[in-house]
Amino acid sequence: MKLVVVSDTHGSMEHLAAIRERHGEACFFHCGDACYPIAEEPDFVYVKGNCDRDRVMPEELITEQDGLVILQTHGDAYGVKQTGMRLRYRALEAGANLVLFGHTHVPTCVQDDGVLFLNPGSLLLPRSHPIATYAVLDGKTDGACITVEVVFYALDGTRQAGLGGTYRLQAAYGEGGLS
């Protein structure tokens, strides 16, 4: 499985087509603050950010895919700029083993208590990293485990050293519990 994650584009759509083309057969996730009509980029799964005005976007989504239970949110409702605890509790409550979020504009990938937390950074207004980033996850299932390689890229497709890594997650099945 391959997932491409972007966030905090703040109206800029100029790089999305190149990202889709570069990574081909993948599932594309946008973690909020798109700030453009999502009908113009329908290939992404969206959640609403604090700057979005599109009423059809949900505040969060829980998606199951190939042993992953993905909690996707912008993060502002969980206070991610102050602490990750509320988002961590929500992930455990949902039985998620992967959390995709944005809001901070800081590329982050951390595993805690069996859950992988991923923020792709921002495609327009990066913070704590000198350039705009997005993330790609490649996962391989091996029985009850999923090995996930996370790579962060610059807008031109250049791999960003020092970000991402390889993580092993327990395969999850259904809301509320890990198998």
Residue 106, number of CB atoms within 10 A of its CB: 18
Contacts of 156 (CB under 8 A, 6+ apart): none
| DSSP state letter for 1 | -
Can you give the pLDDT at residue 164?
97
**Is 31 part of a structural domain of the chain?**
yes
For residues 113-121, average pLDDT: 96
One-character DSSP codes across 40-66: GSTTEEE---TT---TTS-SEEEEEET
What does the alpha-carbon distance between residue 173 and residue 179 come to, in Å, rounded to a whole number?
A: 6
pLDDT at 152 > cutoff 50: yes
Domain presence at residue 178:
no
Q: What does the mean pLDDT of the chain come to?
A: 93
Instruction: Give the C-alpha separation, 148 to 140, whole Å.
Output: 7
Task: Please tell me the distance from the alpha carbon of residue 175 to that of residue 95, in angstroms, as a whole number.
Answer: 5
What's the pLDDT tens digit per position in 81-106?
A: 999 999 999 999 999 999 999 999 99
E-assigned strand segments in the chain? 2-6, 27-30, 44-46, 60-65, 68-73, 98-100, 108-112, 115-119, 133-142, 145-154, 165-170
pLDDT of 108 > 60? The answer is yes
What are phi and psi for residue 166, nearest 5 degrees?
-115, 135
**What does the pLDDT average to over 30-35?**
97
CA distances from 56 to 51, 104, 144 (A): 14, 23, 35
- Residue 177 within any structural domain of the chain: no
Q: pLDDT per residue over 51-62, tens digit each?
A: 999 888 999 999
- For residue 132, the model assigns a pLDDT of 96
- Residue 109 within a domain: yes
Q: What is the pTM of this model?
A: 0.94
CATH of the domain at 120: 3.60.21.10
- 17 belongs to a structural domain: yes
Residue 67 belongs to a domain:
yes
Total domains in the fold of the chain:
1
For range 135-163, the mean pLDDT: 95
* Range of weakest confidence among 22-26, 40-44, 72-76, 140-144: 140-144
Nearest to 4 by CA among 118, 87, 105: 118
Residue 21 domain boundaries: 2-170
Instruction: Count Cα neighbours of 102 within 13 Å in the Cβ-side half-sphere.
Output: 35
pLDDT for 177: 40
Residue 175, domain member (yes or no): no
Q: Cα(124)–Cα(133) distance, rounded to whole angstroms?
A: 9
Residue 179 within any structural domain of the chain = no
Range in 2-6, 63-67, 109-113, 170-174 the model is least confident about: 170-174
Q: Does the structure show a pLDDT above 90 at 173?
A: no
